[in-house]
């Protein structure tokens, strides 16, 4: 592997950048279709209410209005509701309690922003004006917005769950874990809140739905991370049209972070309603305030955890109880986030013999909660790394050494919570991070900071995550409604250029470059002669899309397998043309040679030969050079690393500054270090955002979203974060031929714990709530100040 060139390991500049830096990107809202109309949604102003009546007569008469649709129209058309695609069973064996989630509200609204009616008009201004004329009469019901209070709510969000509990799920051996606690020398206890976040990809969600009355087929342009899954769900569950009569196109997508995995009501409503207005396309682009109200949110856990240690500081047991908010409806993958993506990672990097976790998933009258960058794994890391740090402090053991003495050191390692870690070297990452962060001289920096009125703290986070999602049979046995393999097709053109059709989808990850690097590396084709085709169900074979850091380990492995087949076929063609045995043909650096001779053919020549089919018996070798593959991973992949954060807190104002941040990550083999570093930077900043700035707040009394704009919800800006010190260690992943793990989520998984361990270290407190805004930190400092006076 070399950092130069265009093959695997090279810092290749991105091929997709040309269009983005010149304003020629093609995002959904950039697309306009002939005879297009515009949608605007009437949304609930109440957190919880019965709909007494909806009067659309006035709106329908407004200028330029093409149609107004409500839940009644949806019901009359038998359009299916939104689904949650992962079945979780409670401890007692009962299935999760999924309430109905119609595309437009029927009978009740359950959160502020719930979609009540769709207004379609000639312009977006006219649609918006007419939406204001839709008259909805509500009878307001009691609501609940906090997960901590929800089980005592006066009016359940869904009748099917009278105590608002969707499920009560558990994992691990409770009796064995209790026994470990009985014999413990020390028990550390902690209560943590993982604050609710609003994803905020910079491109708001958008859709254009149209119906072709001639072919009786639908097309949906949408901001999706997984267009085939969207087509499957809209076809099979909403029942809109069979899959071959529905085309879903996800063009350039401006960031996802999980929030664009899900199948949402607005997109379905637009494509559905198009048929009802004679097939005219309906375009909807979310205003940012709608993104805040109605994109699926992330996190929102309340957790109590206890850690048992023996007299030598060895962890012997871990017990966790989490209440996880689901919001008002179960979003597409909501149920797997606080269960199989969360509690299965509670062993962290540690050899913990006994773990037991219980999770209550709970409805609240808020926007639905689903996967957001990391999805369950940041929440797990936060619990593990905060309690490990706290235990070390209580036991007066250096937190780095406490971690080291509990690390898993032999692989494979079976945890008590399903996961089997396949490879890693946790001490190597720790050593490197300690050295790069100058951990041993922290005391000097702390003293220097104190002299200028600053409280300096240091915090570690030794995270592990499971990504490369996921082995289909394994997740099927755990309740998943889909398989999580990936597909690829390699089309070699007669002139030797290559098109890769991938089921993965790029919305910032740089697939057009990294996937082309793999092809260039394998076939010796110039990287500029490789194009990556994705995001269109009419062009690309069924694929599962991009999330869970899966497009390298799973998506590229599918490509790699298809390339194996291309190579094998091309060898047969080359052998026939060069009049040799296929076994004697070798392929290296884009050239086929015959062992022991000077015969050779370039890759392009073989491609042309395959298509002209003059020189082989086409009864034995089919013409053409095109191969496909589906790859189903045999295990998750397990990126891991150590992040170390240093903060300085202004003792007078409570302002926290991240002054140093070191990240050492093991992603296995890396295709393009430049892109991987970019992923880590972005992830760390999202995690710093969670720790210090971002927090979704619903008003307890009114149920209104208080953080509904960038004026109220603090996004990290350039001046809020420092430059980061990055390094990689490498234990290649044994479960895929490229040895890759995943890098898309690691930064967001590791960083909140690192930052908060630093903040609590600086303040000498057990816990400070996230986001540790100046106000929160200032308040937390007051008792200490009073005590000092």
Q: Please, which residue, 14 or 403, has the CB nearer to another protein?
A: 14
Q: Which of 3, 125, 435, 652 binds another protein (CB under 8 A)?
A: 125
Between CA 95 and CA 166 the distance in angstroms is 9
Q: Which of 227, 254, 317, 368 binds another protein (CB under 8 A)?
A: 254
304 binds another protein (CB under 8 A): no
Between CA 692 and CA 773 the distance in angstroms is 5
Q: Please, which residue, 634 or 709, has the CB nearer to another protein?
A: 709
Compute the least distance from the CB of residue 203 to another protein, in Å.
4
Q: What is the DSSP string of 253-301?
A: ----TTTTTS--HHHHHHHHHHHHTTT--EEEE--HHHHHHHS-BB--E
528 binds another protein (CB under 8 A): no
548 binds another protein (CB under 8 A): no
Q: Which of 588, 723, 788, 789 binds another protein (CB under 8 A)?
A: 723
- What is the footprint of another protein within residues 258-297 (CB under 8 A)? 285, 287-289
**Selection from 71, 79, 76, 68 nearest residue 53 by Cα:** 71
Write out the two tokens for 416. 């008590």
Task: Identify whether 771 is preceded by a cis peptide bond (ω within 30 of 0).
Answer: yes
Q: Please list, residue by residue across 276-293, b when 16 or more beta carbons sit within 10 angstroms of its beta carbon and e when fewer do.
A: bbeebbbbbbbeeebbbb
24 binds another protein (CB under 8 A): yes
Q: Which of 6, 7, 29, 268 binds another protein (CB under 8 A)?
A: 29
SS3 137: strand
SS3 454: strand
Residue 742 φ then ψ, to 5°: -145, 145
Q: Please, which residue, 503 or 744, has the CB nearer to another protein?
A: 744
95 binds another protein (CB under 8 A): no
Could you give the string, one character per residue 141-180, with x where binding to another protein holds by CB under 8 A and - elsewhere? ----------------------------------------
DSSP label of 40: E
678 binds another protein (CB under 8 A): yes
725 binds another protein (CB under 8 A): no
User: What torsion do the CA atoms of 384, 761, 728, 730 make, to the nearest 10 degrees?
Assistant: -40
Question: What is the H or E stretch that residue 660 is in?
Answer: strand 656-666
Q: Please, which residue, 94 or 709, has the CB nearer to another protein?
A: 709
Q: Please, which residue, 55 or 123, has the CB nearer to another protein?
A: 123
Write out the two tokens for 764. 């000498």
785 binds another protein (CB under 8 A): no
- What is the footprint of another protein within residues 683-712 (CB under 8 A)? 683-686, 709-711
Q: Please list, residue by residue across 436-450, b when 16 or more beta carbons sit within 10 angstroms of its beta carbon and e when fewer do.
A: bbebeebeebbeebe
**Selection from 781, 692, 753, 33 nearest residue 345 by Cα:** 753
Q: Please, which residue, 700 or 717, has the CB nearer to another protein?
A: 717
35 binds another protein (CB under 8 A): no
Q: Which of 74, 675, 743, 759 binds another protein (CB under 8 A)?
A: 675
Q: Which of 22, 53, 215, 477 binds another protein (CB under 8 A)?
A: 22
Could you give the string, one character per residue 330-359, with x where binding to another protein holds by CB under 8 A and - elsewhere? ------------------------------
Between CA 456 and CA 763 the distance in angstroms is 8
4 binds another protein (CB under 8 A): no
Q: Which of 5, 9, 255, 481 binds another protein (CB under 8 A)?
A: 255
* CB within 8 Å of 22: residues ≥ 6 apart: none
> Are 322 and 742 a contacting pair, CB within 8 Å?
no
- What is the footprint of another protein within residues 491-520 (CB under 8 A)? 507-510
27 binds another protein (CB under 8 A): yes
Taking CB under 8 A as the binding criterion, the range among 54-62, 273-281, 540-548, 717-725 that sits at the site for another protein is 717-725
Could you give the string, one character per residue 202-231, with x where binding to another protein holds by CB under 8 A and - elsewhere? xxx---------------------------
Between CA 657 and CA 112 the distance in angstroms is 34
Taking CB under 8 A as the binding criterion, the range among 13-21, 383-391, 462-470, 614-622 that sits at the site for another protein is 13-21
Compute the least distance from the CB of residue 721 to another protein, in Å.
6
DSSP label of 152: G
Compute the least distance from the CB of residue 719 to another protein, in Å.
4
Counts for the chain of helices (H) and strands (E), in that order: 19, 28
Angle subtended at Cα 412 by Cα 411 and Cα 414, rounded to the nearest 5 degrees: 120
Write out the two tokens for 215. 């072919």
Compute the least distance from the CB of residue 223 to another protein, in Å.
10
| # residues contacting another protein (CB under 8 A) | 58
Q: Which residues bind another protein (CB under 8 A)?
A: 13-14, 16-25, 27, 29-30, 125, 200-204, 252-255, 257, 285, 287-289, 507-510, 674-675, 677-686, 709-711, 715-719, 721, 723-724, 747
């Amino acid at each position: 592997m070399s950092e130069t060139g265009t093959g695997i390991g090279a810092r290749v500049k991105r091929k997709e950048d040309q269009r983005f830096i010149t304003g020629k990107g093609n995002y959904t809202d950039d697309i306009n279709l002939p005879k297009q109309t515009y949608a605007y949604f009437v949304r609930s102003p109440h957190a919880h209410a019965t709909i007494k009546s909806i009067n659309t007569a006035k709106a329908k008469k407004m200028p330029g209005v093409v149609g107004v649709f409500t839940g009644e129209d949806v019901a009359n058309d038998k359009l299916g509701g939104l689904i949650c695609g992962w079945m979780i069973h409670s401890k007692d064996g009962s299935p999760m309690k999924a309430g109905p989630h119609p595309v437009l509200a029927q009978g009740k609204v359950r959160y502020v922003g719930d979609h009540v009616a769709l207004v379609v008009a000639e312009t977006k201004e006219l649609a918006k004006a007419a939406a204001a004329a839709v008259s909805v009469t509500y009878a307001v019901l009691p609501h609940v917005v906090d997960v901590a209070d929800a089980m005592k709510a006066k009016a359940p969000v869904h009748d099917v769950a009278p105590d608002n509990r969707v499920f009560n799920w558990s994992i691990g051996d409770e009796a064995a874990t209790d026994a470990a606690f009985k014999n413990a020398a020390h028990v550390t206890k902690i209560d943590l809140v993982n604050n609710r976040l609003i994803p905020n990809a910079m491109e708001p969600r958008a859709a254009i739905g149209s119906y072709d009355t001639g072919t009786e087929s639908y097309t949906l342009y949408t901001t999706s991370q997984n267009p085939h899954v969207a087509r499957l769900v809209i076809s099979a569950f909403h029942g809109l049209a069979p899959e071959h009569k529905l085309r879903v196109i996800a063009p350039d997508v401006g960031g996802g972070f999980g929030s664009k995995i899900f199948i949402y009501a607005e997109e379905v409503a637009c494509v559905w309603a198009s048929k009802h207005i004679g097939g005219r396309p309906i375009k909807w682009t979310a205003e940012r305030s709608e993104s805040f109200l109605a994109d699926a949110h992330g996190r929102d856990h309340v957790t109590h955890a206890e850690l048992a240690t023996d007299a030598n500081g060895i962890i012997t047991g871990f017990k966790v109880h989490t209440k996880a908010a689901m919001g008002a409806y179960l979003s597409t993958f909501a149920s797997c986030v606080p269960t199989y993506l969360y509690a299965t990672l509670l062993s962290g990097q540690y050899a913990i013999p006994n773990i037991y976790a219980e999770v209550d998933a709970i409805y609240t009258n808020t926007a639905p909660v689903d996967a957001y960058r990391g999805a369950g794994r940041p929440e797990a890391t936060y619990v593990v790394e905060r309690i490990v740090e706290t235990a070390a402090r209580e036991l007066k053991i250096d937190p780095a050494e406490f971690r080291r003495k509990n690390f898993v050191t032999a692989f494979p390692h079976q945890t008590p919570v399903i996961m089997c870690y396949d490879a890693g070297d946790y001490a190597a990452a720790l050593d490197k991070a300690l050295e790069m962060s100058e951990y041993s001289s922290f005391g000097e920096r702390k003293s220097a900071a104190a002299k200028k009125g600053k409280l300096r703290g240091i915090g570690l986070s030794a995270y592990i995550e499971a990504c490369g999602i996921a082995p289909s049979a394994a997740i099927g046995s755990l309740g998943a409604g889909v398989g999580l393999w990936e597909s690829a097709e390699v089309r070699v053109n007669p002139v030797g250029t290559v098109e890769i059709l991938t089921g993965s989808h790029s919305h910032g990850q740089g697939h057009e470059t990294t996937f082309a690097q793999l092809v260039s590396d394998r076939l010796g084709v110039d990287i500029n002669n490789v194009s990556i085709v994705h995001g269109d169900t009419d062009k690309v074979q069924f694929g599962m899309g991009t999330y869970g850091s899966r497009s390298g380990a799973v998506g590229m492995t599918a490509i790699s397998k298809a390339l194996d087949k291309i190579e094998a076929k091309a060898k047969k063609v080359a052998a026939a043309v060069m009049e040799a045995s296929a076994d004697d043909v070798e392929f290296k650096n884009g050239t086929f040679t015959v062992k022991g001779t000077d015969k050779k053919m370039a890759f392009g020549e073989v491609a042309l030969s395959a298509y002209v089919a003059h020189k082989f018996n086409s009864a034995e070798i089919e013409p053409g050079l095109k191969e496909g593959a589906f790859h189903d991973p045999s295990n998750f992949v397990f990126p891991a690393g150590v992040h170390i954060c240093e903060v300085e807190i202004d003792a007078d104002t409570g302002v926290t500054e991240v002054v140093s941040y070191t990240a050492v990550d093991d992603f296995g083999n890396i295709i393009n270090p430049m892109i991987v570093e970019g992923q880590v930077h972005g992830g760390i900043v999202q995690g710093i955002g969670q720790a210090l700035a971002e927090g979704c707040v619903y008003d307890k009394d009114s149920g209104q979203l208080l953080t509904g704009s960038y004026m109220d919800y603090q996004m990290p800006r350039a001046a809020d974060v420092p430059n980061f010190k990055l390094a990689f260690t490498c234990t290649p992943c044994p479960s895929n031929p490229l040895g890759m793990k995943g890098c898309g989520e690691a930064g967001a998984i590791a960083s909140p714990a690192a930052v908060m361990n630093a903040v609590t270290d600086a303040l000498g407190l057990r816990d400070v709530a996230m986001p540790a805004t100046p106000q929160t930190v200032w308040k937390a400092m007051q008792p200490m100040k009073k005590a000092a006076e």
